[in-house]
Every structure is written in C-alpha cells, then in structure tokens.
Structure 1
Amino acid sequence: MSTLPLAVGRRRRTSVRHTLDTRVSPYAYVAPFFLLFAAFGLFPLAYTAWVSLHEWTLLDEEQTFVGMRNYGTLLADDYFWNATFNTLSIGILSTAPQLVLAIWLAHLLNRRLRFQTLFRVSLLVPNVTSVVAVVVIFSQLFGRDFGLINWVLSWFGVGQIDWAAGTATSHLALSVMIMWRWTGYNALIFLAAMQAVPRELYEAATLDGASNLKQLVRITVPMIRPTIIFVVIVSTIGAMQVIAEPLLFGTSSGGGGGLVTGGPDRQFQTLALYVYEHGFTKFDFGYASAASWVMFLFVVVVAGINYLVTRRVKGGVI
C-alpha cells in the first residue's frame, strides 16, 4: 500500500497548523485585551458621549434629549475655566521639575555606586505608598500653624503661610506632593533606557574631558529621547487627571472649603474634581459627561502639543 497519500495529508495538516500559528495565533493572544478594552473602555466612552447629549439626572425616570446644550452651558461656566486653569497650572508645576529630577536621578544611579540596588528599589517607595497617606502627611508638613515647612521658613523671617488658602501656594504644595510620588518611578524608566546606551560613548567622552553634566546633555538625553517622549506624554495625561491630592488637601491641611470644590474659593479645584462635583454630588450626569468629554479632548490636545515639542528637543525629528 502506498504511503504517498498519508505523507501528503500530513504535510497539508502541518501547513495548516503552521499557517494558523503564524497568522491567527498572534490575534488570538491579543484578543482578550481588545475584548476587555471594548467592554470597559470603548463602550463606556461611547455611552458617556450619548449621556452628555441629555438632561440626565439620578432622580428623573426619563432623560430629555438636549443636544449640545450641556456643552454650551459648560463653556460659559467660569468655574469650569477656573478648574482648567488650576489643572494646567498644577500640571506644569509638577511635571516639568519632575522630569528634570527624574533624569538627574537616573543619571546618578546609572553610575557605579555602593548599595546601588538599594537606592534603585527605594525610588519605588513613594509610588507604592498610599496616596491618602501621602496627602495627609504632606498636608501636615504644609500646615499653617504647626507645619514643618512654615517652621523652616520662619528661620528666614517668612511669616506663617496658609498654603491651602491661596491659589499659587496651594498649587505649589500639590505639585510637591505629585513630584514626590512620581519622580522615582519616572527615574526608573529613564534608568532602564540609559542602560541601553553604549558605554563606549561615555568612555570616549571621558577621554575627551567631558564632565558628567556634558555627558548627560550631549549623550544621554539625545539617546533616550524616545523614552523622554513617552514619559512626558504619560506624565501629562496623569497631571490632567489628578484628583486624589486636591480632593483631600483642603480638609487635611485645615484650609476649609468643600472636598470637591477645591477650597472655599475653588483655588485648587481640578477638572477631575469638577466632573466629580457635578456627577456625584449634584447627580447631573449629563452635564458631568459633557465635562468629562471636554476634559478628554483637553488631555489629547495637551499631550499632542507635548509630543510635538518633545520630539524637537535638541533638534531634529525622530
């Protein structure tokens, strides 16, 4: 009996399995993510857009279609623009110094140091610490009457500062909290990128007499530019969505005012707090959905601007 048909059949089955493995398997592996993203990401996003076109409150059994009225009311609300300004101000004050410090820390840890592993692990401690604990501790540090910051400033003749009462002071205090939480995390990302930079470049620069600062500016930063772009975009998105720090800061520091209003004069109410106020205290889900969509568009625009600017740092496009 000839074995040729059996061999042909085996080759065909092998070819089919190979085709499935190379062309179908990759899609099967990534399918769970896209299914979950569609269920918990795209659907809520689309549904929120639909809700934003209605007068949608918790107590009403029927929702009235109002079209773009919520958006018009939103753009005419001074409190919304105040929250936008606060968000941008806190974001700039926290993100720019944070990235500079993170690169500097990563550059230091990229050198040969004693207890290097301990230092690297310690950078993650602020990030894994509960945000509630961070805000409570820093609110006490920035306390008006018994805060450590005011006590140190008193050595230089500076009077007691009510950090939670003013716009500039509250933004500065919140920025310090955000920087403390995320600088170490971003430093580890930069450090991972620096590990891939060829050592020969640093050795050649050292032989040419370049200082550590010049090596950082002329070698490290250009070589890790893609990572810098990634961190800038992620940090920008995080800064535009900040909510926990301002939510707890006013009460913890004794500054007064409601939790969701960001102080008595809304001096540090962010966009996320503004959405929370209308959605979960006033239960105006239609208006809150419109605010969240405008906030989403702001995040996209600001992240896009940061992306374009960062790509041109030190000249040239990647």
Structure 2
Amino acid sequence: MTIAKSPSDELREQPDRPEPTSLPAQRTVGRRSRFARWDLKYSPYVYILPFFILFAIVGLLPLLYTGWVSLNDWNLIRGQGQFVGLENFSRVLTERDFWVATRNTLSIFVIQVVPQLAFALVIAAALDRNIRNATFWRMGVLLPYIVMPVAVVLIFNSMFSDQYGLINTMLGRIGIDPIGWHTDVLASHFAIAGMVNYRWTGYAALILLAGMQAISRDYYEAATIDGAGPVRQFFSITIPQLKPTLVFVVITATIGGLQIFDEPRLYDVQGKGGPDGQWLTLALYLYRLGWDELDFGRASAVAWLLFLLIIVIALINLFISSRISSKERGRNS
C-alpha cells in the first residue's frame, strides 16, 4: 500500500539548490578574478620598473650620449663640431699614452684584485666563527671603507715617499736600497694597489661573510662528525657553496678596479699619472683628454673603450666560473 506524501514532506526531501546569484555580483566576482590574474602576472614588473626608469635616466642615456659625442669633433668650449665617425677611436688607438694607460690599468687591477679577494676570504672566515664582540669586529672591518680617499692617499704617501717615507726609512736601517715608489713602474702600481685594498678589502669581506652565513650549518656538523677539520671544511664546503657570492665580488671588483681614478690622481702633486706615465690609468687619461685638452670626442672614445674592456673581462670571469661549476657538477654526478 502506498502512502501519499504531503506537500511539506516533498519540499523537505528535495535537495538544497543554490540561490541564483544576481548579475551585478557575478560581474564583481569576474572583475576581482581578472584583477587577481593581472596582479599575479604584471605586479613583479611594476615593482622593478622604478629601477629601470632610474637606470635609463642616469645610466643608459648618458652612455648613449657619450657614444654620440665620441663620433663627433666635440670640444668643451666650441661644443659639437663636425661628424667624424670612428676617427676619434682610431686616433686614440694610435696614441702611446692610451696603451701605457691600458697596461697600467690592467697591472694595478691584477695586483689589487688577487690579494683583495684572498684577504677578504680570510677575514670573512674569521668573522664567521663564534668570536666575542662579533658586531664590533665587523664594524671595525668596514671603517677603512668610509675613510675619504684623500685621507687614505695622504697616509700612504707618507709611507711610500721616495726620500722620507716610512718604508724606505726602515729599509735603509737594515741596509737595503730605497725603492723608487714614484719613479719605478711596478713599485708605483704596488703602492696604488695597496691604497685600494686598504679601502675595499673590508667591504668585500662583509659581502663574503653574508654569503657564508647563508650556508646551512648542517654541512659543517656532518663534516665535523666525519672528522674534517676547519681547513678541510673551508675548502670542501665554504668555497663551493660561496661561488655565487664570489662571482658577484669578482665582477664588482673588476668594474671598480678598471675604473680606478682617485688614488692615481692624488698619488703625486701634479696628478698627471707620473712624469713618464708610470701610473697613468685609463680613467686618469680620460680625465686629461676631457678637462686638460678639452677634447670631449677623444675622451668619450676612451670611455667607450674602457666600457668594452670591462665587459670583456667580466665575461671572461663569468665564463671561467661557469666552466668550474660545470666541471664540479659533472664530477659529482
């Protein structure tokens, strides 16, 4: 026998149905989802856009303008002259002072960068250990960086003076002939590289220290359990894990080392790079062409040649580091 159901029972047995959504609410939800997709897709570019705008204003536009100036017979007083194409580059490449400046720049760069990275690694490794008053020592390492270049040169000139310098005085007391810090080419390069390393070694050490502190301590604990000492841990764990930071430090040191200007400019009273160009650098040669000879065309050509030299050396450093990393990956696989 079938029992008839009342209308109220039929309503209770029906499944719940969602209430129809109004059309304005659907449009609001659609706009929000579309905005969320746009935010996810385009917001990273919006965040980095101020950097590119600033770079275009203070970096890219002056670089392109310098390239245009290098193609003209441009004088500081007369302004833009005749379009000469690559004549300024050909004139610069045939001048003796340009090649002397290139030799000096590369020599000072090599003497400066290698000891700077070595000392920075040692200092960073020492600061990475559990030492007392670690913050004090880290701040002390950075103090030479904030000293004005003029003060640094004055201090080092009293040390590297040819006649009354501290180093020559000490060498004379032990019977060694004095060194011509302002006459000998290699000696002047060592003196200038010493000034640069005094200022920038602490800065590089702090960057390397930040990279060391980002390395997981589990590696060191496992190495200690296996019986590896501090030296073995440094070369087997710290150096391989620190390679991205090392590449960054090398590239920044390359850019700064090839653009060195303050120390050679202030190394003597004249500021011309020595009587025979013993410590004449490309940046100092560029300054002499622009402000002493008022030839902005040739000075801009030197600036572009220096820019290309920096790019070539930076690419060489990147290539070497990538080859080393690929060899290690192949050895570990």
Paired position in structure 1 for 2:84: 66
* Structure 1 residue 295, shift from structure 2 partner: 0.8
CA distance in 2, matches of 1:298, 1:3: 66
Q: Deviations over 1:157-215 (max 9, x none)?
A: 22332312211111000111111111111111111111122222223333333332222
> Measured at CA, do residues 221 and 315 of structure 1 come closer, stay the same or move farther in structure 2, by a change above 3 Å?
farther
Kindly indicate whether residue 330 of structure 2 is the aligned counterpart of residue 316 of structure 1. Answer: no
Q: Deviations over 1:22-49 (max 9, x none)?
A: 2333222222221121122111111111
* Structure 1 residue 103, shift from structure 2 partner: 0.7
Kindly indicate whether residue 145 of structure 2 is the aligned counterpart of residue 145 of structure 1. Answer: no
* Structure 1 residue 317, shift from structure 2 partner: 6.2
2:309 is aligned with what amino acid? Answer: F
CA distance in 1, matches of 2:322, 2:250: 11
2:307 is aligned with what amino acid? Answer: F
SS of equivalent to 1:145: coil
Paired position in structure 1 for 2:224: 206
Paired position in structure 1 for 2:35: 17
* Structure 1 residue 296, shift from structure 2 partner: 0.6
Paired position in structure 2 for 1:276: 287
2:29 is aligned with what amino acid? Answer: R
Q: Deviations over 1:107-128 (max 9, x none)?
A: 1111111111111111111111
Moved more, 18-27 or 112-121: 18-27
CA distance in 2, matches of 1:62, 1:97: 44
SS of equivalent to 1:81: helix
Paired position in structure 1 for 2:274: 263
1:30 is aligned with what amino acid? Answer: I
> Measured at CA, do residues 101 and 123 of structure 1 come closer, stay the same or move farther in structure 2, by a change above 3 Å?
same
Asked whether the 8 Å contact 2:73–2:80 carries over to 1, the reply is no
Paired position in structure 2 for 1:115: 133
CA distance in 2, matches of 1:78, 1:66: 21
Paired position in structure 2 for 1:254: none
* Structure 1 residue 143, shift from structure 2 partner: 1.7
Moved more, 13-22 or 41-50: 13-22
CA distance in 2, matches of 1:62, 1:219: 57
**Match runs of 1:87-98 below 5 Å:** 87-98=105-116
* Structure 1 residue 3, shift from structure 2 partner: 5.7
**Match runs of 1:63-212 below 5 Å:** 63-212=81-230
When normalised by structure 2's length, the TM-score is 0.88
* Structure 1 residue 315, shift from structure 2 partner: 6.7
Q: How many pairs were matched up? A: 311
* Structure 1 residue 4, shift from structure 2 partner: 1.0
Kindly indicate whether residue 243 of structure 2 is the aligned counterpart of residue 232 of structure 1. Answer: no
Paired position in structure 1 for 2:17: none
Asked whether the 8 Å contact 1:232–1:307 carries over to 2, the reply is no
* Structure 1 residue 314, shift from structure 2 partner: 7.4
Task: Extract unaligned runs of 5+ from structure 1.
Answer: 252-257
> Measured at CA, do residues 166 and 59 of structure 1 come closer, stay the same or move farther in structure 2, by a change above 3 Å?
same
Kindly indicate whether residue 275 of structure 2 is the aligned counterpart of residue 285 of structure 1. Answer: no
* Structure 1 residue 222, shift from structure 2 partner: 0.7
> Measured at CA, do residues 97 and 311 of structure 1 come closer, stay the same or move farther in structure 2, by a change above 3 Å?
farther
Match of 1:220 among 235, 238, 253: 238
2:239 is aligned with what amino acid? Answer: V
Asked whether the 8 Å contact 2:105–2:258 carries over to 1, the reply is yes
> Measured at CA, do residues 224 and 62 of structure 1 come closer, stay the same or move farther in structure 2, by a change above 3 Å?
closer
Q: Deviations over 1:224-280 (max 9, x none)?
A: 1111111111101110000001000122xxxxxx31x20111100100001111011
Asked whether the 8 Å contact 1:90–1:174 carries over to 2, the reply is yes
* Structure 1 residue 313, shift from structure 2 partner: 4.3
> Measured at CA, do residues 175 and 14 of structure 1 come closer, stay the same or move farther in structure 2, by a change above 3 Å?
same
CA distance in 2, matches of 1:51, 1:62: 8
Paired position in structure 2 for 1:54: 72
Paired position in structure 2 for 1:307: 318
CA distance in 1, matches of 2:326, 2:24: 64
> Measured at CA, do residues 206 and 151 of structure 1 come closer, stay the same or move farther in structure 2, by a change above 3 Å?
farther
Paired position in structure 1 for 2:3: none
CA distance in 2, matches of 1:201, 1:285: 56
Paired position in structure 2 for 1:248: 266
2:295 is aligned with what amino acid? Answer: D
